[in-house]
Every structure is written in structure tokens, then in C-alpha cells.
Structure 1
């Protein structure tokens, strides 16, 4: 599954650091969850989370999947988008390309910062027990790079729906793959 963000407004909605936290919290439930559940987990007021959840829903990053009547109140259950998110600068009007670029950079920076923070919070001082990282250069054709990225996304989709148990625990992963034209092949 791929979701393309094509407008400046979509990128601004998606790149907000607080909304990234909300999405991550929805993901952590590993099931459809209510805004109230997410607000409680974030120690926030439900109205504040609801406002941002509606913005995320407007761009397809959250989807209403179920409603239940609980003590006379309709509980709405949302599920986060679990596929690949693509930002296409080439499809943007030339008059806003610079602003679009700036917003895309802010989005990437926010993702790096959030994942760095979560890694360091859980880092135990050793590389055992799931605290793994890798920083490598590899040489691929464009097709091989797309194949690798697709393979990792498929693996994440297959394992993202599983529940803890039977030796299975939750791992966080943040993965980037990019062509660096500044470094020449030897």
C-alpha cells in the first residue's frame, strides 16, 4: 500500500511532531483504538488529541473502522495507515516547490528526532536485547533499491499485525534508503 502526499496542506498535517506522536500511539495499540485511549496513553486531554486525529483522518493517515455504543456514548475506533508514505516534489506547482521542499525536510527531521528520542529512551547501553542499528553504504541499481525498500515494507506489514507472545516482543524500526550523489563509487 502506498499513500502519496501531494499538497502542501497534506505534508503540513502529516509533519506536525505532535501528530507523529499520536500516530505512533495509535500504532502501539496494535488494534483499532479510540481517541480517548490514545489521549490517556499520552496523558493529554481527549479534545486536543481529537482535533489532531481529525486532521490525520482528513489525509487518510487515520481511518474510522468501528463504532460502539458504550454507556450511551458512541466510541469511535480508528486504525492508523500502515503502508508506505510517498512525497512527490515533481508533481508540485513550481510556485510552491521551495515551501514544499521546506515542509518535506521538516517532516523527515521530525521523524528522525522522534525515532532518535524513542531509541535513546529504550537504549540499555548495549547492542543486545534488540538495541540494534546499522549505518552502511550499499551499491544497488535503482530497481534493486526499490526491491529492497519494498521487501522491508512487506516484512513490516506482515509482522506489524501480529500480537506479542510466543517469544514475540515489539521492536521499533526506522529505515531510510537514499542515493547520495556526493559520494563517488571507488
Structure 2
């Protein structure tokens, strides 16, 4: 039976993997493995409130390109249950320069970025709405620790590269400080991004 690499980070370098991973539902499937517990397609479907056949298709596609790894099979009532884990805790995109999309196709980086930004935006706005509902009902609950900051900076390309490197280091620092099994642990989603604006 295959085993996950147990790495913290797996780098997607191929366009084929990038295209498979760029699907919004598949990114959500990945987020369900934050507890690092192997799951079947049926368990994932139940958790997401979706038909098992739909989720099974997406799990199979992720497994086909090595992003989900089959860790165990069990027989239950004459049915073979397949348990999966992600290949690593985090997925980073490092596409090879020579793996260009075919004419008319968007790049892997574009597809993943679009899908990930939409998923992140949806989750962030849900938390803002919950916070607003809390204020209206005067309830106090845990969570809703939303934070957003945006800036337009005038930087040289060299300073921009330095800023991006510091942002990477910040993400890595907090990844090392994770406490996945603590009683007060909550899932925090971070999305740091920066780009040099075209003239």
C-alpha cells in the first residue's frame, strides 16, 4: 500500500497536476484533511453534504495524479473501502517553465490562482457575515478572527522580491508553530499575495 511522503510541503511542478488541483471542489476536499485522518470518498461526501458519486470522481482524479494517496483498504459488508490522505500537509505550486499549456488553455498557475482565490474569498466572506450576525444577536462565539490589509507600495523590483521572501518566511514560521491536536486549536486560513502592477 502506498504511503504519503509525510512531508509538510509537496510541490506541484507539472501542468497536469496543476490543472487537476485547480478545481474548487478538489481544493475543498483537501481542506477536510487538516486533521490528517485518512478518509474514504463516502466520508468526504457525507462531510460536504454532496452525492458520493460526485465526490468519488474528484477523489479518483486527485489520486490519479498523486495528490491523494491510497493508504489503506478495508472490506466492509462486501464493499472495499479505500482510505486516502494528501501527499503532504501543504501544496505549493512550482510549475516548470517548459510545461506550457496548449494553445487556448490558461496556465496551471492561472487556473489554481483563480480557483484558490474564489474559495478563499467565499470562506472569508462567510466569516464576516457570521461576525455581523453575532453583533446583531449580541452573541459571543469563538472564531471569526478575520483580518485583511491591503497596500499599494512603490518598491524597486529587488525590494519587492525581498518582501515576497519575508512573506514566505512568515508562512513557514507559523506552519512550524502549528498545534493540530490542541484542545483549543482552530483552523486558520492565510492567503498572502503580492504582485508588481503592470504600467
Q: TM-score range by the shorter chain?
A: 0.7 to 0.9
Q: Does the aligned pair in 1 maintain the 2:22–2:115 contact within 8 Å? A: yes
Alpha-carbon shift at residue 112 of structure 1 (Å):
0.9
Match of residue 191, structure 2, among 149, 167, 174: 174
Give the number of equivalent residue pairs.
Answer: 175
Q: Partners of 2:152 and 2:81 in 1: how far apart?
A: 48
Map residues 25-174 of structure 1 onto 2, 5 A cutoff.
25-27=32-34, 29-80=35-86, 81-88=88-95, 90-93=97-100, 96=102, 99-101=105-107, 103-123=108-128, 124-125=131-132, 129-136=144-151, 140=159, 142=161, 145-153=164-172, 155-156=174-175, 158-159=177-178, 162-165=180-183, 167-174=184-191
RMSD: 3.0
Runs of 4+ in 1 over 6 A off after TM superposition: none
Q: Partners of 2:92 and 2:103 in 1: how far apart?
A: 19
TM-score, normalised relative to structure 1? 0.75
Q: Does the aligned pair in 1 maintain the 2:12–2:18 contact within 8 Å? A: no
TM-score, normalised relative to structure 2? 0.70
Q: Which residue of 2 aligns with 1:2?
A: 10
Which deviations, in whole Å up to 9, do the C-alpha atoms of 1:124-164 show, x marking residues without a partner?
Answer: 138x84112222457646356335314413532652x6125
Query: What runs of 5+ residues in structure 1 fail to find an aligned partner?
Result: none
Query: What runs of 5+ residues in structure 2 fail to find an aligned partner?
Result: 1-8, 136-142
Give the match's secondary structure for 1:163: coil
Give the structure with the higher percent helix: 1
Give the match's secondary structure for 1:83: strand
Match of residue 25, structure 2, among 18, 24, 39: 18
Q: Partners of 1:157 and 1:60 in 2: how far apart?
A: 25
Q: Partners of 1:60 and 1:35 in 2: how far apart?
A: 16
